[in-house]
Chains A and B, each alone.
Chain A
Amino acid sequence: MRHFEYARADSAQQAVAAHGSDREISFLAGGTTLLDLVKLDVMQPDKIVDINGVALDEIERLDDGRLRIGAMVTNTALARDKRVVDDYAVLSQALLAGASTQLRNKATTGGNVMQRVRCPYFRDGVSDCNKREPGSGCAAIGGVNRTVHAVLGTSDACIATHPSDMCVAMAAIGATVEVQGPEGAREIDFADFHLLPGKTPAREHALEPGELITHVVLDAPLEGSRSAYLKLRDRQSYQFALASSAVIVRMDGDTIADARVAMGGVGTKPWRAPEVEAALKGRAASEQLFADAAKLAFENAIAYAHNGYKIPLGQQAIVRNLSDLTAA
């Protein structure tokens, strides 16, 4: 670990003010990504601003029915919150499918949104990696890419999956990210928050330098809906998704009145699948419909040397989730 300057902030304004313009600065929340990567020498911040003293640990229901989650609310607290359990089961399940109890007790909502990729070529500090060393190349293409590499949203510069489960649920629910920055506060649509790698995989999100996530505001729950998160992986716990689905459906008899579908483990960002949703809406639920709809999500998928199986597996994650949710 390299030596770095350490500061504590008691408010979002203070945290943002502590950010200098010409230095590598990181905000420290739960630290479950940042401290790992600093120890591995993959992230080398000159300064760390500890925001654990910032009072952003409330969950509140807004008048318009949305749920406003403080950036410092832990994964455990969020997963166990009654409003989340009751109205956003998919989010609670996604959180509990991630990491371990110990990690969830430390990890925060804002930090999870900011989670870095698990690509071993990024984390080894040595291999060619356009995220870590722009322009150096992507060792994962042509390397070992079975588990944490994507088939959707990839580019010749980067194929790492976004590792979060929580974000997949949020992508399905729909959300707004509230940020505080040197220029004041602003809102970013959750769908626009994470960026595709394109030619610039080092730029992972829509935050400007010095901006701090203060809240994630979930869209109001889809009235009368059911939702679930299904995560598929090699072992039963403590592994990132090989493929996962977050599904929200509202039924009208046997007909799917409305549906929201997002996927994890297969995309370079939390992957909303509007084409699947459109194919489901207004149609009678059936295994054939689910299979046909799920297929649409992968029309533009690209298989790499070891992860082609994610194309059928991702479809299975959607089909099974829909099947269970729509069962009488």
Chain B
Amino acid sequence: MSDKQQSIIGAGVPRIDGPDKLSGRANYAADNLPPNLAYGYGVFSTIASGKVSQLSVDEARKMPGVVDIFHHSHFPTLYHTPSSFAQGNKVEETRLPFEDERVYYEGQFVALVIADTFENARAAARRVKVTYSTDQAVANLDQGVEANGTQAGSGNHDRGDAASAFDSAAATIDVTYRTPVETHNPMEMHASTAWWDDEHLTIFDASQGVVVARNALSKIFAMPPERITVHAPYIGSGFGSKLWTWPHAIATAAVSRELGRPVQLVVPRQQMFTTTGHRPETRQRLRLATDGNGKLVSLRHEAINTTSYTDQYVETCGSVTKSLYRCPNLTVSHETTQVNRGTPTSMRAPGAAPGLFALESAIDEMADAAGVDPVQFRLDNYAERDESQDLDFSSNHIVEATNRAAEKFGWADRNPEIGSMRKGREIVGYGMAACNWEALKRPCDARVSIRADGTAFASCATQDIGTGTYTIVAQAVSDVTGIPIDRITVKLGDSSYPDGPVSGGSWATATTLPAIAGAARKALDEIKRYATGSNGVFAGASGDDLEVADGGLRSADGKLVSFADILEAGRYGSADGEAHTEAADSKYSYRSFGAHFVEVRWDPGISHLRVARVVSAIDVGRVINETTARNQVEGAVVMGIGMGLFEATEYDQRNARPVNNDYAEYVVPVHADQPEIDVILLDHPDLAFNEYGARGIGEIGVTGLAAAIANAVHHATGKRIRELPITLDKLMDDVPQARSA
């Protein structure tokens, strides 16, 4: 590799899929309109617990354009998937659509109207009359614990004796934090378009994992995976809500087969709050203790999250707590409680996002109790190795991240006295928090071809969910082959390509790139074989003597022949390579690190809180694409602002009905809420992890951000808000109580 070729890794290469997206050529799941397409619209439960006692379709059946109306007593037989992550056939809601008359949550599909147009389907869906026998719903975490108790979760950890160490410590805190349900709300609606040809199912689905979706559908339809193709060439983001197949996609495929025509189903925004997952509500108790030197001696992080009646989803809030700080006595436990909500699922940085709100708020509270500056307290207590696994970190630059961000932010200017810093009418608050995410790498296959026209083609059944995967794959191919980006075609999001990973867990980069590079090297080996063969342009030479240069091969004596000419000489259409790469080993603890520094402004005269400035230093190994990497952190910071200040899916505690399930009332940050965001990418390659030294960057930015805001709010106002979101009413004094009814 020449220096020039190496420089493409890390460069801010513009997204290669950008023009298609900007011009509307990128086709998303609901953009596919095959001939004779029928449209579905759901009838959704209006109770959260009970049974459908009567379902009358007579009036709806007579509406214009109606093809059929499916429900629990009129639906094709389907089969259960084992829903195994290891087997790659996971779904989150394991109950099959229309499996029985039971209702477990408001907004559950109870019928599905199919008509000739979307409008006719919707109009008829309104005419389906459903009566219920209603049970008292369990509406929130506290009600769940009261009614159902808790069930043991996974990801627990215990070392030393946290209770004894706590009891004999110099300083302690015992505090409880709460986070609400958050809903992913990707811009692209959940949607599926499915059709069958000769017993082959083709489905365009808004999916972050086409291979797992195919495998799950194979189980559900009891047919070989070879007869199913799942397409997701473009996804209007997912944030985790599109990781696994949801009931609407299964139902779309099922009724398409039943009706013998293509069917499309788009989940309305209101039901994207109910039937396509959410980040569950959590309650987290943190007990921390330090010795006389401000060193942590005991740490307990005990979390409960809500889950559905049909499935157990564990929000592993303590996943980071196990290893971020040095502490000999530590307990992490996760429990769940059943409530009448749909099944939760991973949302960007699952576990860590709510978990680090609690942990990194508690660390500040502990620092306060120990009388130490919060930055110094962290520097004094960061772990040097992963004590939970008894392993060294492969690469950990959290101290550098903290120090660099602190310096850029101007932490030294912070007057620690509460409310002491002012600008005009506003009180300034400075806060910070560590951020952390595990680095994962999954098995992966990939294929790369160098073609007769000198272009390259790469394919892998992973997805680009808006993060830039198309582009970094092209960068890796270009890096290995020297072929320029604009002569490389990348195809993703098709389950018939070589098996690639689900786009989640921040593992797509570390997983996909080594396989792509391996396949590209194999394609080069192949082209060298052609070149050195008896009729080849370098006949008789050794492949080892040929180097890749300027879109071709160059011999030791300086003779340069393009790939196109080599292939032409041998009359080969292409030189192909395939590669398989394995999951990460367990020699080290692989994690990413960082620190957020946040300035908030609180204007007490109008009770207005805003985030004014964010500086984030992020240690994710080598950065593959400076532009898309920065974009991932900036986007995550914005999402963290939403988590910190605005986002909460609210449920009526009387009946478990979601109340603000639309995009006007569920408040996320708008542009005007987004401050100056300064991202420092440390860019230290983690070569123990993979050949590129990259650890992935999608999730870490959202972790810790809400805590940094909460810590800054405390600095500004003296109020320690332990329940997200930090809305203005929580910061106001003397709020009148409701009159009694």
Seen from chain A, the residues whose Cβ lies within 8 Å of a Cβ on chain B are 1-3, 39, 41, 118, 120-121, 123-124, 126-127, 139, 141-144, 146-148, 230, 232, 234-240, 242, 301-306, 308-309, 311-313, 316-317, 319-320, 323
Contact = CB atoms under 8 A, between A and B. Distances in A.
The 9 closest A-B pairs by CB, nearest first: A236-B672, A309-B729, A308-B736, A144-B659, A303-B736, A237-B672, A309-B735, A126-B46, A237-B670
A142 B741 contact: yes
B256 to A, nearest CB: 24
Contact of B735 (A242, A308, A317): A308
Interface stretch (B11-19, B282-290, B379-387, B600-608): B600-608
B585 interface: no
Interface stretch (B411-419, B541-549, B646-654, B693-701): B646-654
B390 interface: no
A317 B607 CA distance: 9
B652 A143 contact: yes
B659 A303 contact: no
Q: Main secondary structure on chain A at its contact with chain B? A: loop
B608 A118 contact: no
A128 B652 CA distance: 13
A303 B667 CA distance: 23
Nearest to B730: A309
Contact of A235 (B606, B670, B733, B737): B670
Contacts of A1: 119, 122-123
B737 A308 contact: yes
A230 B607 CA distance: 13
Contact of B734 (A143, A144, A312): A312
A147 B738 CA distance: 15
Contacts of A124: 657, 659
Given A235-B672, A317-B606, A120 B659 contact: yes
Contacts of B667: 234-235, 239
A126 B126 CA distance: 12
Contacts of B728: 232, 234, 242, 309, 313
Given A308-B735, A309-B729, A312-B735, A144 B660 contact: yes
Nearest to A41: B126
B665 interface: yes
B606 A236 contact: no
Contact of A320 (B606, B610, B651, B732): B606
Given A144-B659, A304-B738, A235 B669 contact: yes
Nearest to A298: B736
Contacts of B734: 312
Interface in B572-629: 605-608, 610
Contacts of A239: 664, 667
B645 interface: yes
A304 B736 CA distance: 9
Nearest to A310: B729
A316 B606 contact: yes
19 contacts: A120-B665, A143-B654, A143-B659, A144-B660, A146-B729, A147-B665, A235-B667, A235-B668, A237-B670, A240-B664, A303-B738, A303-B739, A305-B738, A308-B737, A309-B607, A312-B732, A313-B728, A319-B605, A320-B606
Nearest to B669: A235
A238 B673 CA distance: 11
A139 B652 contact: yes
Contacts of B46: 126
B560 to A, nearest CB: 55
A1 B63 CA distance: 12
B176 interface: no
Contacts of A236: 610, 670, 672-673
Given A234-B728, A236-B672, A239-B664, 17 more contacts: A41-B126, A124-B659, A146-B727, A146-B729, A232-B608, A234-B645, A239-B667, A302-B739, A303-B739, A305-B738, A306-B738, A308-B738, A309-B607, A312-B734, A313-B607, A313-B729, A313-B732
B26 to A, nearest CB: 22
B606 A232 contact: yes
A303 B741 CA distance: 11
A300 B664 CA distance: 30
A316 B672 CA distance: 22
Contacts, number: 113
A320 B603 CA distance: 11
B601 to A, nearest CB: 12
B732 A234 contact: no
B727 A234 contact: yes
A242 B46 CA distance: 28
B671 interface: yes
Nearest to B608: A232
Contacts of B736: 301, 303, 308, 311-312
Contacts of B672: 235-237
Contacts of B608: 232
B606 A2 contact: no
A309 B732 contact: yes
A3 B606 CA distance: 47
B673 A303 contact: no
A303 B729 CA distance: 13
Given A303-B736, A309-B732, A118 B607 contact: no
Interface in B715-735: 727-729, 732-735
Contacts of B738: 303-306, 308
Contacts of A41: 126
A39 B126 CA distance: 10
Which of B651, B727, B734, B736 has the most A CB atoms < 10 Å from its CB? B736
A296 to B, nearest CB: 16
Contacts of B659: 120-121, 124, 143-144
A308 B732 CA distance: 11
A156 B652 CA distance: 19
A2 to B, nearest CB: 6
Nearest to B127: A2
Contacts of A306: 729, 738
A70 B729 CA distance: 39
Interface string B652-686: 10100101101011011111110000000000000
Contacts of B671: 237
B237 to A, nearest CB: 19
A319 B672 CA distance: 24
B670 A118 contact: no
B610 A120 contact: no
B425 to A, nearest CB: 9
A127 B658 CA distance: 11
Contacts of B657: 124, 126-127
Contact of A232 (B607, B650, B662, B664): B607
A242 B717 CA distance: 21
A320 B650 CA distance: 31
B667 to A, nearest CB: 5
A34 to B, nearest CB: 16
Contacts of B737: 303, 308
